[in-house]
Amino acid sequence: MRKRDINSFRKLLTRRLEQLLMEAERAKNTVKVAEETPSDPMDQASDNVERDFMLRLRDRESKLIAKIKEALERIEDGTFGICEECGQQISVKRLRARPMATLCIDCKHEQEALEKREELEAGPQPSRLWSHG
Ligand SMILES: [Zn+2]
């Protein structure tokens, strides 16, 4: 990958990371305010729902933050954009759409096909459900 591309990905990922950290900080404060504000029983339920939502959001965000950090580490050690599965270069076009991708498009498709197959094998068999014999 060209140095210019690497630099643009580093910038993109760093900016995304800063954004997420800021949002995470804001979410943390919202949860804290919700905890500190005394609410009457009528509001309790909706407070809990909101807090659950914020916690789930934080969980998802923290996973995303970890992924971005990993991608930045890969940039530093020079393995960014290399498929974990086959060692081929992931296309810049794919990385622009998914900068945190660790698999090339072929391996990704293969993985998805495998997951789909496993899902089908684990699921109910429609043909058997409908047969009477
Ligand atoms: Zn691959």
The closest of 76, 106, 79 to 1, measured between CA atoms, is: 79
Containing structural domain, residue 42: 1-79
Ligand 1 centroid–CA 89 distance in Å is 8
Mean pLDDT of 52-73: 88
Task: Verify that 4 and 46 share a domain, yes or no.
Answer: yes
pLDDT higher for 95 or 38?
95
How far is residue 55's CA from residue 60's CA, in Å, rounded to a whole number? 9
The closest of 113, 80, 116 to 98, measured between CA atoms, is: 80
Task: Verify that 7 and 63 share a domain, yes or no.
Answer: yes
| 130: in domain | no
Q: Above pLDDT 90, what percent of the chain?
A: 54
| 62: in domain | yes
For the segment 48-57, what is each residue's pLDDT rounded down to a tens digit? 888 888 788 7
Task: Verify that 2 and 32 share a domain, yes or no.
Answer: yes
Residue 11 has pLDDT above 70, yes or no: yes
> What CATH number does residue 19 fall under?
1.20.120.910
Mean pLDDT of 64-71: 95
Mean pLDDT of 28-32: 73
For the segment 93-130, what is each residue's pLDDT rounded down to a tens digit? 999 999 999 999 999 999 999 999 998 888 766 555 55
The closest of 110, 118, 114 to 83, measured between CA atoms, is: 110
Ligand 1 centroid–CA 119 distance in Å is 22
User: What's the domain count of the chain?
Assistant: 2
Which pLDDT value is given to residue 7?
95
Ligand 1 centroid–CA 3 distance in Å is 22
The pair of structure tokens assigned to 59 is: 């969980």
pLDDT higher for 105 or 41?
105
Ligand 1 centroid–CA 108 distance in Å is 7
